[in-house]
């Protein structure tokens, strides 16, 4: 991909995914990899950071004799996701205009 993804954007996307539905590490990574080129080990530090900041909580669910650790968004997480979404909209609107996109009315 031409454009680089930054740490806050990774945070925001993870929160966006789990806001829709709780997910475990592997599935999260696959969802990212469908869209952009991230390595398999990119997400763990992000998840851990979000968890320690109180934006994500985890719970285990047994699967085939082992556990899957699910990540789910907290109220705090929802709040910050809201800010992220707003910032992202502003940013993409502004960049879109610069690129001479659809906004020339």
Partner 1 sequence: MNKEEYIKELQKRLKLLPKEDREDAVNYYEEFICEMELNEGESICNRIGTPKEVAKAILGETTEKQLEKQKEKKSVKGGAKVVWLTILAIFSIPILIPVGICVWLLFLVFGITAFALVVAGIISFVALFAPAPIGQKLVAAGVGMVLIGLGMFLGIGVVQLIQLTARLMVKIVKRK
Q: Residue 28, CB half-sphere, CA atoms under 13 Å: how many?
A: 28
Overall size of the chain counted in residues = 105
Positive or negative torsion for Cα 54, 33, 5, 82: negative
Task: Classify 73 as helix, strand or coil.
Answer: strand
Q: How far is the CB of 91 from partner 1 (least distance, A)?
A: 24
Among 8, 45, 54, 96, binds partner 1 (CB under 8 A): 45
- Which region among 8-16, 33-41, 72-80, 95-103 touches partner 1 (by CB under 8 A)? 33-41
- Pick one of 21, 44, 86, 92: the residue that binds partner 1 (CB under 8 A): 44
Helix%, strand%, coil% for the chain, nearest 5: 55, 15, 25
Position among 21, 54, 59, 67 found at the interface with partner 1 (CB under 8 A): 67
Residue 49 or 85 with smaller CB distance to partner 1 = 49
Distance (Å, whole) CA 100 – CA 23? 37
Identity of the residue, 12 or 70, whose beta carbon is nearer to partner 1 in the bound complex: 70
Residues of the shown chain interacting with partner 1 in the complex, contacts defined by CB under 8 A: 24-26, 29, 39-42, 44-45, 47-49, 52, 66-69
């Amino acid at each position: 991909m031409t454009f680089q993804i930054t740490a806050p954007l990774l945070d925001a996307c993870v929160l966006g995914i789990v806001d829709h539905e709780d997910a475990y590490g592997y599935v999260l990574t696959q969802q990212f990899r469908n869209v952009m080129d991230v390595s398999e080990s990119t997400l763990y530090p992000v998840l851990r950071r979000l968890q320690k900041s109180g934006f994500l909580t985890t719970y285990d669910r047994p699967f085939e004799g082992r556990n899957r650790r699910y990540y789910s968004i907290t109220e705090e997480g929802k709040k910050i996701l809201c800010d992220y979404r707003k910032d992202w909209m502003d940013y993409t609107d502004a960049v879109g205009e610069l690129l001479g996109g659809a906004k020339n009315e």
